Amino acid sequence: MTSIFHFVIGLKATVLIAIKWGGWDRLCFNAKDASKLYETFSLYNCVFNYSYLLTTSQGNTLEKTEVLYGLDNIISKTIQFLSKAGRIDFCGDDKTARAILDIAAYKKILLEVKSRGVKIRYITEISKDNINNCKQLMEFVGEVRHLDGIRANFSISETEYLVSIATIQTVKPVPHIIHSNVKDIVEQQKYVFENFWNKAIPAEQRIREIEEGIEPEFFEVIAERRRISQIFVDLMRSVKQEALLLFPNDKAMVRADRLGIIDYLVKVSQKENGVSTKIICPLSEKNFGIVKRVSEQASDIRILNGNDSLYGMYIIDGEKLLRVEMRDPNAETFLEEFINVASHEMKTPTQAILGYSELFQRHPERRDEMIQAISRNAVRLKKLTEDILDVTKIESNTLKLNKEQLNLSETIRNAINDMNNSQMNFLDKSNNVIEILFEAKSKEQRKEQDIIIEADKVRIQQVISNLLSNAIKFTKKAAEDSVSISIAVIVDKENNQVIVSVKDSATGIDPEIFPRLFTKFTTKSDTGTGLGLFISKSIIESHGGKIWAENNKDGKGGATFYFSLPSKKRISIN
């Protein structure tokens, strides 16, 4: 007596459960009743064989995915699968070979399949425990390969896919399997198998390695930093006779010392018939203390001065090689410098806010003055925080633009207004009056224009604000009582771009920093991180534009910064 549960999903997502029991038919449309019946019959899983069917129609072909229970059903479906196949790919864990050999029906059908000339490929993990089973299975299977740690159990033909629900943990067959002829599922599993197959090695090679006690050869590319560090430590601790270390730079030796590798090499070299260790590394003040300690404690360790390299190389006992390539040789330098600059810049406004807050409590009559000072330093702290976040996004290539149609002239006016409202933050002790002049024009017309382009409004205003704040910061007092900064926008229709310029009458750009003006931490100011122009350059280049600067040649001093923004569409001028 058997029970079959059919789950059919209709157009209206109505679930119909039909239960056939000893000739009696019942239809249950109530989901609650169906659930109760399902729970009741699930108690008899150990007695009755049943299957779940999910069917779909693909053209004239009925595609079906089913879960089969019971040993008889599983063997029957597997034999049917093997009998129809013209090509078979197997993948099984280290226990599958014995499970197959223990079932006579499986061996018989495999011999028949092989006699028909069906191409069979099999991937498994070959070990000392199952080597004999794998040798026997190779008599039935055309080509066998070994893959370390494989835990998948499935088979694929041209049109069908068969898989065990869980990894085989014993030599007994699994209690249920999935069978499918859904094209998308079959194609996906073919792709998975091919990836496994390409990574696997011939079974004959693995068997020879086990029988002759040969250490298996391997080549692996690893990108995870923590795993690389752990492999490095394990590799160094496995040394028995000789260790050859080529450090890419002085800091690499410092990192190795922090991991305990240097102390371990000193320890193993001090033993009788100890490990021979040779190190090549750029020597500097940063690793001088380590080199001195090694020479005092283990004079047999030879350390030679080398040159900076893009990679480190470590060879152990002439058998194992670890090569570590540096994606960005300056990454750690940048991080340390960034932390130093950021901590210094954060400390100043933070201490000022705390100091003015304390003064405000003691002198409430100076309320407005104190609040103004607190606000000024809070703005400075906010700007620094934003710069840190922006640099992080730029370095990780996650800076995103939200482009929209914007009025460039209006965006510049907004930046000027914001700067005028906060100008007190940038004036020197003489409180020079700085006037910001703005002009937007095309090459053909001289009057001010509204210029409509497509760009990220917030980011473009950020660039303009950065250039204005630099101009205000360095603008010196001219012969007149007031000095000016001029912003101009020129529409270049011929090249379909706009060019924005910010001109000041400051001291000009120092020749020492000119070549690296738009790089990180470049500044001659006593305050500031030197990140503003670097961020501005990244924003403009993300828009497909360019940014550059030059010292003024009119004899009045100062410098002019330019940036261009392209437009794929025609620039609109109102």
DSSP for 315-369, please give it.
Answer: EETTTEEEEEE-S-TTHHHHHHHHHHHHHHHHHHHHHHHHHHHHHHHH-GGGHHH
Task: Point out the least confidently predicted range of 2-16, 64-78, 94-108, 355-369.
Answer: 2-16
Q: What percent of the chain has pLDDT over 70?
A: 74
Average pLDDT over residues 47-51: 39
Average pLDDT over residues 309-325: 86
Per-residue pLDDT band at 125 (split at 50, 70, 90): very high
Structural domains in the chain, CATH included, are 1-48 (no CATH), 69-210 (3.30.870.10), 225-325 (3.30.870.10), 331-395 (1.10.287), 403-573 (3.30.565.10)
How far CA 539 is from CA of 393, 402, 521, 547, 564, in Å, comes to 11, 12, 17, 10, 11
DSSP for 453-504, please give it.
Answer: EEEEHHHHHHHHHHHHHHHHHHBPP-SSSEEEEEEEEEEETTTTEEEEEEE-
pTM equals: 0.42
Residue 6 in this model has a pLDDT that exceeds 70:
no
How far CA 293 is from CA of 79, 249, 287, 299, in Å, comes to 70, 18, 10, 10
Q: Which residues of 182-216 are buried (b: 16+ CB within 10 A; e: fewer)?
A: beebbeebeeebeeebeebbebeebbebeeeeeee
Between residues 71 and 572, the one the model is more confident about? 71
Cβ burial of 44 (10 Å; 0-12, 13-18, 19+) is: exposed
Task: Point out the least confidently predicted range of 285-294, 426-435, 463-472, 506-515.
Answer: 426-435
- Residue length, the chain? 574
* Tokens coding 275: 């490990």
Average pLDDT over residues 493-522: 82
Residue 570 in this model has a pLDDT that exceeds 60:
no
